[in-house]
Structure 1
Amino acid sequence: MADLDEQFAKAQVDVKKLTTRPSNDDLLTLYATFKQATAGDASGAKKPGRFDMVGRAKYDAWTKLAGVSSDDAKRRYVATAERLLGR
């Protein structure tokens, strides 16, 4: 467990060092898996209004992960980060 938490923490730091901006889909994946890993399901979060397109896209990406465990979300985050970093 601690190993996964360490990988997750390292991936968060490493993603900030990317020299090129990831695609919007990759950014949404990183956001959604981070939120699912740290906050759980989006059921308690308020859905952004229709004029907040960025907030809405982020919320929708997060809600698609409903039911995914924290550990699985961390693994997905790390895998996405590793792919973006070319590892």
Structure 2
Amino acid sequence: MSTFEQAVENAKILKVTPPDADLLIIYGLYKQATVGDCNTAKPGMLDFKGKAKWEAWNGRKGMSQDEAKQAYVDKVAQLVEQYGLQ
């Protein structure tokens, strides 16, 4: 299992659910790492959750997938240190 795959698993078993801001960061990094640049249309203005997620991903445009994987691993490691695992 790669360090990225381990970080994905660790993100699922944090003791505490991180704040929305941190969740959006790891969401955007995960999508950039696994898909690449955002390839979907921006959700409508009344879809607040979808819009926030889209913006978190689209804000990573131009970042390589390897850079995104490393940033994801680093962010999850910080969250594990902060909150611990179940």
Are 1:19 and 2:15 matched, yes or no?
A: yes
Q: Percent identity?
A: 39
* One-letter amino acid of the counterpart of residue 38, structure 1: T
The runs of 5 or more residues in structure 1 that have no matched partner are none
1:1-44 residue CA offsets vs partner (Å, 9 max, x unmatched): xxxx70000000011110101011110011000000011101x2
Candidates 77, 80, 85, aligned match of 2:80: 85
Q: How many residues align?
A: 82
The TM-score with structure 2 as length reference comes to 0.91
**Contiguous gaps of at least 5 residues in structure 2:** none
Displaced runs of 4 or more, over 6 A: none
Paired residue for 1:34, among 30, 34, 56?
A: 30
Report the equivalent of 1:75.
Answer: 70
Q: What is the CA–CA distance in structure 2 between the aligned matches of 1:23 and 1:80, rounded to whole Å?
A: 13
Amino acid at match of 2:24: L
Q: After superposition, where does 1:42-61 map in structure 2 within 5 Å?
A: 42=38, 44-61=39-56
Question: What root-mean-square deviation, in Å, do the aligned CA atoms of Structure 1 and Structure 2 show?
Answer: 1.3
Report the TM-score, using the length of structure 1 for normalisation. 0.90
Letter aligned with residue 45 of structure 1 = T
